[in-house]
Amino acid sequence: MVSRVWSRTRSETGVAGVQREVTTEIVRRLVISVRQGLVTSPVVYRALIGHGVPIDATGGTSIGSLIAGGVAPGQSPEEIARQRRDAVFEQSPFDVTLPAVSLASGRRVTQRIKAGADGLDLEDGWRRVFAVSTNLTTGRAEIHRTGPGWQAIRANFSIPGVFPPVRTAADELLVDGGLLDNLPVGVMRASTRGSP
């Protein structure tokens, strides 16, 4: 058995502090499960809400950015599931094109993501939120914390060869963040350090 040393960085003390630390560890393990494909639906979010687990921040890459984009403004698990179904499963998101850059043109999935984002920017929610995409121009991970939510999510739908990259205002090309950081736990840790 491995012994564990608990350090409190939050303001809770006593039983409340220990409960918060245990809950945080459970959530970290759930995040890993979600990203590894063991749980890829809002079911985890529903369970967290049902158990009264506080959600201070949310983030993701690939399909996780879509879920995070719904959690941040406080959408219900049912609303997130509906948006995911509409964007990906109800009708094919593939609008096939001559494969010069990708198999699909990306117009259809872009329209659905824009509709689901409802004009919200990443900073509009009361929870901190981020999405991680891969910047092909710089060769680095791009961490989105501000700006159009649809663009950060759409960049994560840009699986190379399947959907075209998203072009930024700076003329850089963004694709799925899973190429460089398929489990952005370090980004989450850095963004929540010292939060209540």
Active site residues: 62, 176
Distance CA 136, CA 145 (A): 19
**Secondary structure class of 189 (helix, strand, coil):** helix
Residue 177 in tokens: 């963040």
Containing 175, the helix (H) or strand (E) segment is: strand 173-176
**Which CA distances in Å does 61 have to 19, 67, 127, 184?**
28, 9, 17, 7
Burial degree of 148 (CB within 10 A; 0-12, 13-18, 19+): middle
Of residues 106, 116, 159, 103, the one with CA closest to residue 136: 159
- As a whole number of Å, the end-to-end CA separation of the chain is 31
Quick one: angle between helices 14-35 and 43-50, nearest 10? Answer: 170
